[in-house]
Chain A
Amino acid sequence: MIDLVKFTAVALLLGAAPVYAQAPSEPAEEDDPFAAFDDFDDEWQEEGGLTWTGFFESGYGRRLDADPNGLPRQTLGDVRARLETEWAGEALRLTFKGDLLYDDYESEMEAELRELAIQASPRSSVDLKVGRQVLTWGTGDLVFLNDLFPKNWVSFFFGREDDYLKDPSDALRLTWYTNAINVDIVWSPEFEPDNYLTGARASFFSPVAGGIVAPRPPLDARMPDDDIENGELALRLFKTVGSTEYAGYFYRGFFKQPLGSNASLEPSFPQLSVIGASLRRPLGRGLFNAEIAYHDSREDGGGTNPLIPNDQLRLLTGYEFEARPRLTVGLQWYLELTRDYAALVENSPAPSLEPDERRHVLTTRLTYRTAQDRLTYSLFAFYSPTDDDHYVRPSVSYRHSDRWTFTTGASLFSGKRDQTFFGQLEDNSNVYARARYNF
């Protein structure tokens, strides 16, 4: 279990020095507006050498109820330092973002490289970025159809900052801009799965056990063989015509979560190909988006293998608009249609535990900002009428100054049945708070 006192002490130590260093400066002379500009942190003239920026952050989170599987009450205990810099030469740009994290939940210190990449434009119409980088595309808001870049669901569910939903990829990204169409090619020589639920921090439903589990040792799925053939290739064709953005997508790799089992019944990442398309455009006063993706489970074309997921057709439409000044409303409807459903049920060892053929999910995002953007209230909710479960993410963020930001929020899961997507996570509902000092 956590030692809250120790944690608070570390957080305060990290925070205290900057608080005093930040004692408010004298207000500038009323009639000399330049007076204030003159003590701008960095002068108009950029200094030679590298500029280092980053932040210190501490976060603490707790489960709402005791976990029946005996997981600790604490869900988050991070003390993190981030450093970022970049160097731009004539033809090259080097970028670096690295974290040093003391994870009190795991009782360990971790160094995490978020980005270390070289950017260049070998031709005037080509951008190249090679190295570790965070990658995102697609039109969904927290719903991913064609974005198969690695995600960190543990960070997302347990109250880390939104950026940490995305794990970095070691990849080569080539973007080619032409008048006809733009092409994005991302090749990752090594398969990088999502940071999935292992039972270390979250309990989940196991069809084998027929109930909620938090396995000890935690789940450790079998990775695809270390082979150049087992990399990932992601492709995007995109073009903006007028105000409408069109894109086509292709992916060849593996399921990002261990949804299959190999011959020796170990959890594994079955082969996956995805093809899809999206569009996004203004509609009325808001923005409309639509996206489609076909997930081709290459090892189970007919849907008869109970150890491998079936193909799925995924559809998404969304609309976002400003309902009142500073109040943004986003609505999405998402459908997963499982193909060869009869074959799935026929071959399933436990047909009653299989998901429905059609899984509908509705999402709402409400964001309200106060006058100078100091306070941001946010509510994101997933609700599935077919699974009869939901996941609600309320949060309040206070930007006290350019230095300090405080955030508190919750992840609330609930469902009628143990085996549904959000229902299985009910015991993991948690609240969290974070303080960040930017420098």
Chain B
Amino acid sequence: MNTLSIRLMLTSGALLLLALNTASGQTLTDPNEIVARANLASYYAGADGRSEARMIIRDAQGREQRRQFTVLRRNIEAGGDQEFLVVFSQPSDVRNTVFLVKKHAGGDDDRWLYLPGLDLVKRISAGDKRTSFVGAHYYYEDVSGRSPDEDAHVLLETTDEHYVLEHTPRDTSTVEFTTYQTWIDRETFLPMKIEYLDTAGEIFRRVEVLQVEDIDGYPTVTLSRVSDLASGGQTDMQFRYIDYDVGMEETVFTERSLRNPPQQWLQRPER
């Protein structure tokens, strides 16, 4: 056997392996299944997790605002209910402000905000989820997830890297867009780009993933950007010090943590 035939064999073997891989990863054709898997990949990695986030919010004039906070999350059911605790550390006027969310997949979320200056536990009414999250161009819904049931999904195209889908809201009164399109990574199922279209069919808002890292085996978005193409503003959000499956108890997500945030989970994991 000469060198060339060995090389050919190896190459064809590699090609075969690649083909098998794709087959085992399958090319999905059901848009609902793709969206369900994207939802799990984006918002439900691990049984629980902690992460530190910071955002730079830029308006059209280039003026910047910053936010820094730690997010603790616990899944009650994969793809279903979740609990979040968000503890702000910057800027100084929101330092020690704590936000507690009990996300109900089938209904309105329960939300509380702790204002340390008044020692006030304020409950927030279930509101429009498509409003600014703490002054950023991100919406509450971008941060905690939009229920897959709220849209009708169509698979437009399957490229080498992405599933390209179009989503049309079932209830147009609660959203500011007509449709949106997502580019979902075929391997990780993370939506790498989302573009929102207005009634004229123009893209006016874009969410992009700029960096994905493997954390404890979970592909995790560590840098993303949302651009408001209508106003020219944008927000970059970065996640670091991420840990999954750390064993957070149910009691972390109670009124106690608003007044006395759980230091055990706020401290950075040692690496």
Residues of A within 8 A of B (CB): 24-25, 27-28, 33-34, 36-37, 40-42, 44, 46, 53-55, 84, 88, 93, 119, 121, 127, 133-137, 162-163, 165-166, 175, 177, 182, 238, 240, 243, 245, 280, 282, 285-287, 320-322, 325-326, 328, 369, 371-374, 399, 401-403, 405, 438-439
Is B159 in contact with chain A by the CB < 8 A criterion?
Answer: no
Decide: A166 near B63, CB < 8 A? Known: A33-B225, A438-B92: no
B133 and chain A: residue at smallest CB distance: A373
Is B21 in contact with chain A by the CB < 8 A criterion?
Answer: no
Is B168 in contact with chain A by the CB < 8 A criterion?
Answer: no
Contact partner of A282 (CB less than 8 A), chosen from B52, B57, B108, is B108
Decide: A401 near B65, CB < 8 A? Known: A134-B119, A135-B119, A374-B135: yes
Q: How far is the CB of B258 from chain A (nearest CB, A)?
A: 11
- Asked if residues A37 and B56 are in contact (CB atoms below 8 Å), the reply is yes
Is B142 in contact with chain A by the CB < 8 A criterion?
Answer: no
Q: How far is the CB of B24 from chain A (nearest CB, A)?
A: 35
- Asked if residues A40 and B65 are in contact (CB atoms below 8 Å), the reply is no
- Asked if residues A438 and B236 are in contact (CB atoms below 8 Å), the reply is no
Residues of B within 8 A of A37 (CB): 54, 56, 236, 238
Q: How far is the CB of A396 from chain B (nearest CB, A)?
A: 17
Bound together, the chains give a CA A319 to CA B113 distance in angstroms of 17
Pick the interface stretch among B41-49, B120-128, B143-151, B181-189.
Answer: B120-128
Bound together, the chains give a CA A372 to CA B55 distance in angstroms of 13
- Asked if residues B119 and A175 are in contact (CB atoms below 8 Å), the reply is no
Is B64 in contact with chain A by the CB < 8 A criterion?
Answer: yes
Sample (18) of A-B pairs whose CB atoms are under 8 Å apart: A33-B236, A34-B238, A37-B56, A41-B90, A54-B92, A121-B260, A162-B118, A163-B118, A165-B118, A282-B125, A285-B126, A285-B127, A325-B128, A328-B127, A373-B134, A373-B135, A402-B92, A403-B91
Bound together, the chains give a CA A405 to CA B65 distance in angstroms of 13
Is B158 in contact with chain A by the CB < 8 A criterion?
Answer: no
Q: How far is the CB of B267 from chain A (nearest CB, A)?
A: 9
Contact partner of A136 (CB less than 8 A), chosen from B102, B119, B131, B223, is B119
Residues of A within 8 A of B134 (CB): 373
Minimum-distance CB pairs A-B, first 3: A322-B127, A163-B117, A53-B92
Contact partner of B128 (CB less than 8 A), chosen from A238, A326, A438, is A326
Bound together, the chains give a CA A343 to CA B95 distance in angstroms of 52
15 more CB-based (< 8 A) A-B contacts, given A401-B63, A438-B91, A438-B93: A24-B63, A24-B64, A33-B56, A37-B54, A40-B68, A46-B268, A55-B92, A127-B260, A133-B119, A136-B121, A182-B256, A238-B255, A285-B125, A328-B127, A372-B135
Decide: A33 near B210, CB < 8 A? Known: A44-B241, A240-B254, A286-B125: yes
A164 and chain B: residue at smallest CB distance: B117
Q: How far is the CB of B94 from chain A (nearest CB, A)?
A: 9
Is B170 in contact with chain A by the CB < 8 A criterion?
Answer: no
Bound together, the chains give a CA A280 to CA B260 distance in angstroms of 22
Bound together, the chains give a CA A28 to CA B210 distance in angstroms of 15
Is B191 in contact with chain A by the CB < 8 A criterion?
Answer: no
Decide: A372 near B63, CB < 8 A? Known: A33-B225, A41-B90, A282-B110: no
- Asked if residues B236 and A287 are in contact (CB atoms below 8 Å), the reply is no
Q: How far is the CB of B80 from chain A (nearest CB, A)?
A: 16
Q: How far is the CB of A360 from chain B (nearest CB, A)?
A: 24
Is B136 in contact with chain A by the CB < 8 A criterion?
Answer: yes
Bound together, the chains give a CA A405 to CA B95 distance in angstroms of 16
Bound together, the chains give a CA A177 to CA B254 distance in angstroms of 10
Binary CB contact string for chain B from 240 to 261 against chain A (1 if under 8 A, 0 otherwise): 1100000000010011100110
Residues of B within 8 A of A36 (CB): 56, 64, 236
| Residues of chain B from 182 to 241 with CB closer than 8 A to chain A in the complex | 210, 223, 225, 231, 233, 236, 238, 240-241
Contact partner of B93 (CB less than 8 A), chosen from A55, A134, A282, A369, is A55
- Asked if residues B131 and A326 are in contact (CB atoms below 8 Å), the reply is yes
Residues of B within 8 A of A165 (CB): 118
- Asked if residues B233 and A372 are in contact (CB atoms below 8 Å), the reply is yes
Residues of A within 8 A of B135 (CB): 372-374, 399
Decide: A88 near B263, CB < 8 A? Known: A55-B93, A438-B92: yes
Q: How far is the CB of B255 from chain A (nearest CB, A)?
A: 7
Residues of A within 8 A of B57 (CB): 372
| Residues of chain B from 35 to 73 with CB closer than 8 A to chain A in the complex | 52, 54, 56-59, 62-66, 68
